[in-house]
Amino acid sequence: MAEITQLGFALLGLIHQQPMSGYDLRKVFASTAMGSYSDSPGAIYPALHRLAARGLVRGAMKKSGSLRTRRVFTITPDGSAAFKSWLKGPVTRPDVMRRVDDLLLRFAFMDQALGRAGSVRFLRQFAAEIDSYISELRQFLGVHRNQMPTSGRLAVECGIQQYTSQLEWARSSIAVYQRRKRESK
Amino acid sequence: MAEITQLGFALLGLIHQQPMSGYDLRKVFASTAMGSYSDSPGAIYPALHRLAARGLVRGAMKKSGSLRTRRVFTITPDGSAAFKSWLKGPVTRPDVMRRVDDLLLRFAFMDQALGRAGSVRFLRQFAAEIDSYISELRQFLGVHRNQMPTSGRLAVECGIQQYTSQLEWARSSIAVYQRRKRESK
DNA sequence: AATGTCATGTAACTAGTTACATGATTTA
DNA sequence: TAAATCATGTAACTAGTTACATGACATT
């Protein structure tokens, strides 16, 4: 069975929060900080139908007042399980290298679906993987810095700074959860 | 005529630096900080053929010692022009929102192809666009912060920090070029 | 009456993915 | 001789893109 795409998981996550129609989902992508996903109907409707065909969501026609009938999608138990197992997946090197945005999307959904413990577990993995990738980038720079043009070197340095800022963020976010835990005692 | 993809420009940029075979290019993607591009033959060889079909690169068979004959690609004047016009393109909001990596790739090539002035022009545009996007994110957070789960809020804050670090990088990089300019006088 | 927005969808095209094929040459 | 590496390629599949179609209702 083909894998669920990032867009699929983004849809699943939003529907997990509350039932939504395709149109609602498009508006979310168009208007919130989740702008990295396409709000084009040619992407969203087929993706929703794929999720429905696997039984991860269920669509029901719903007349809302005077407007056109909408197909509102609700998550199924299977869908909820698939979503949570996606959230729980490990943070890998390729994720960190080329899909940090997707990792942050995963994290954004985490509290509600897995609770504080899940979020903290994710952040620790995230921090560890970033930390090790920063070392790799530094090493790369050390070896190649003299053969690189200035802009090439600066571009790599931008990456290092960016990951460093994300590492700090992850550590301070763990602290936020721990503070909250103490307070709730 | 269909547009050239990011992978296409990445290939064009590397070939612009020096003639290379498909195999060489794959190794670059697999071994350097340009890991965000696929090193799969099913992506690279067709992409090279597309560039060749447009006359942007030209491939020539070359026997190198004892190994299998390689097809070494060289950039053409048309290819060089297309590459430079890509480098000179504006830094847009969608670029900043979902393709910062691609922007940094563009920048990494910039020194050699456009010189210091081009790099600085790029950095100024980059900084301006990032700055305005940070404002947008802060505003979004201000409006929605109370309706968001902790992890959602933190995820947006991670984005803000990341862009802030990139903004600082851009400004200090401009300074690097200016210092160098003074020194060379 | 014309235009705009709500809402869902499809068709044609494109580029990327995985997996395999090919064959030469080098190393164990 | 078997396995690994060099080097290029193709086939089948997938999901995304742009652009269009459809029709109900709302606004001007």
pLDDT, tens digit, 9 for 90 and up, residues A17-61: 999 999 999 999 988 888 888 899 999 999 999 999 999 999 998
* Cross-chain residue pair B111–A156, CB shorter than 8 Å: no
Q: B98 vs A1, which has greater pLDDT?
A: B98
Among A33, A152, A164, the residue with its CB nearest the CB of B108 is A152
pLDDT value of position B88: 96
Question: Where does the pLDDT of residue A98 fall: very low under 50, low under 70, confident under 90, or very high at 90 and above?
Answer: confident
Mean pLDDT of A97-103: 91
Q: What pLDDT, on the 0 to 100 scale, is given for residue B65?
A: 63
A43 touches strand C (CB under 7 A): no
Q: Which of B111, B152, B169 comes nearest A150 by C-beta?
A: B111
What pLDDT score does A55 carry?
96
| In chain A, % of residues over pLDDT 90 | 83
Average pLDDT, chain A: 93
| B44: nt with nearest C1' to CA | C16
pLDDT for residue A2 is more than 80: no
Residue A91 has pLDDT above 70, yes or no: yes
pTM: 0.92
Q: Which of A103, A134, A154, A156 to mutate to test the interface with B (most CBs of B within 10 A)?
A: A154
Exposure b/e, B101-116, CB count within 10 A at least 16 = b: bebbbbbbbbbbbbeb
Interchain pair B155, A112: CB under 8 A: no
CA atoms within 13 A on the CB side of A94: 3
Q: Quickly give B18 CA vs C3 C1' distance in Å.
A: 56
Q: Tell me if A79 sits within 8 A of A12, measured CB to CB.
A: yes
Instruction: Please report the pLDDT score of residue B83 as a whole number.
Output: 97
H helix intervals, A37-149: 41-53, 77-88, 93-98, 100-144
Residue A27 has what pLDDT?
Answer: 94
Chain A residues contacting B via beta carbons under 8 Å: 32-33, 35-36, 97-98, 101, 104-105, 107-112, 119, 137, 140, 144, 149-152, 154-159, 161-162, 164-166, 168-170, 173, 176-177, 180
Inter-chain contact B150–A177, Cβ cutoff 8 Å? Answer: yes
Taking the CA of residue B24 and the C1' sugar atom of nucleotide D24, their distance in angstroms comes to: 58
Label residue A77 exposed, middle or buried (CB < 10 Å: 0-12, 13-18, 19+).
Answer: exposed
Confidence at residue A65, expressed as pLDDT on a 0 to 100 scale = 63
What residues of chain B score a pLDDT lower than 70? 1, 64-67, 185
Quick one: closest CA in B to A152, which residue? B108
- The reply to whether the CB atom of residue A3 sits less than 7 A from any atom in nucleic acid chain D is yes
Return positions of chain C under 7 A from a protein CB. Answer: 6-21, 23-26
Q: Which helix (H) or strand (E) holds A74?
A: strand A70-75
Q: Is A154 within 8 Å of B33 when comparing Cβ atoms?
A: no
CB A164 within 8 A of CB A131: no
**Residue from the list A33, A111, A112 with its beta carbon closest to the beta carbon of B159:** A33
H/E element holding B58?
strand B57-62
Integer CA distances (angstroms), A93 to A27, A87, B35, B67, B159, in order? 32, 16, 11, 33, 19
Strands lying side by side in the sheet with B70-75 = B20-21, B70-75, B57-62
